[in-house]
Structure 1
Amino acid sequence: MPWRDNFHSRLVAWLKILLPLAALALLATLFLFSRNIDPMTTIPFAEIDLEARARDEGVTAPEFAGASAEGDLIAFKAATAQPEPGNTSRVLANDLSARIDLGSGGVVTFRAQTGTVDETANRAELSGDVVIETGQGYTLHSERLFSDMKRLYAESPGKVVGNGPPGQITAGRMVLERPENQAGAQLLFTDGVKLIYDPSKPGE
């Protein structure tokens, strides 16, 4: 039928015009919407304080070691450590511990919650529930302990409590050092020493 052919021809002609126009309209709509979108909001950036990150920068499981002239090996290690702000020669450490292998054959260990290692002064300061243990059977507790990293010397400037071969010990100050012209180390308790003697301790 002629009218059907004519309708079909006109429909095809209109579609050739309308379809490209519709495509252009869709593209224009997409461009219009894209101008209203902030591209920075489409990416989930983490808010990082770079200055704080640099300040908190540290190392994991660092070790500091030295040796005395008499052959004592002194080694410190920590769970984490970071430089002290404004002083790169000092290191702030967490879970700080030390082991001293005496040239005479004995062993002394320290451990504390926190500490400071000064590499220039060859000195370490332990703080926060300091525990001192020796191979002779002493276990002592204090809040602070200073230790040299190049010679056998450690000092607790405050109260020390604990147990040893003689019994229970309380003192206002403790010093671990090597006496002059002697091979071994000694613990010296001063400033109000109190000893509760325990006769059941071996060796007494």
Structure 2
Amino acid sequence: MAISVVIADDQEMVRSGFRAILDAQPDIEVLADVADGVAALEQVRRLRPDVLLLDVRMPRMDGLEVLRHLDEEPPATPPGEAGTRVVVVTTFDQDDYVDAALHHGASGFLLKDSGPALLIEAVRAAAAGDVLISPSVTVRLLAQTARRHKARTPRRALSDRELDVARLVAHGASNAEVGKELHLSLSTVKTHLSSIQDKLEARNRVEIAAWVWESGQATSQN
């Protein structure tokens, strides 16, 4: 089944460009594109897409407010099924945007100049429950964000190997890159990530990365 997408951006050329890129993929279907935050919320509630590509600066309601509403709403999907995952797409890589997106459950943060390949990868990653952040954003802005937040206390301590995995995630590594660096299979990486999320009560990779920076674990303690 194709990954269903709604695009929310106030620039028609951006919406048209994103739609053309995504609709050209055999496994992705754009259900709608809208020009403001109110319409974005309406379409997500009506269509229940797998992924919402969400601009930050939009009329009537900005993207971060849309994200906050979606984060606070009761789940609209049956237990065990994923709801709509949000990838924030913006021209501006300001740390306060990333900060707000992280703490309202975004499944990615992408700059508009990242290019078609990264856009497609971000949609597929979000639909799969993974997270992609523009490489130019990841390390610098997560580090800045960490200075303003106290790290959560894990429910249980992470193992040394889980810390290795979490650190690589915090530096923007994909699952495949984590596996290659640590000589682990992809399934083992996913198992570690699932355990890390449970111990940190983190909703996604972004929150794992945020915890690493906030707790001062971004570099090896050995």
Asked if Structure 1 and Structure 2 have the same fold, meaning a TM-score greater than 0.5 normalized by the shorter chain, the answer is: no
TM range (shorter): under 0.3
The TM-score normalised by the length of structure 2 is 0.25
Bigger CA radius of gyration = 1
Question: Normalising by structure 1, what TM-score?
Answer: 0.27
The structure with higher relative contact order (CA 8 Å, sep 6+) is: 2
Q: Which has the higher strand share?
A: 1
| Higher helix fraction (1 or 2) | 2
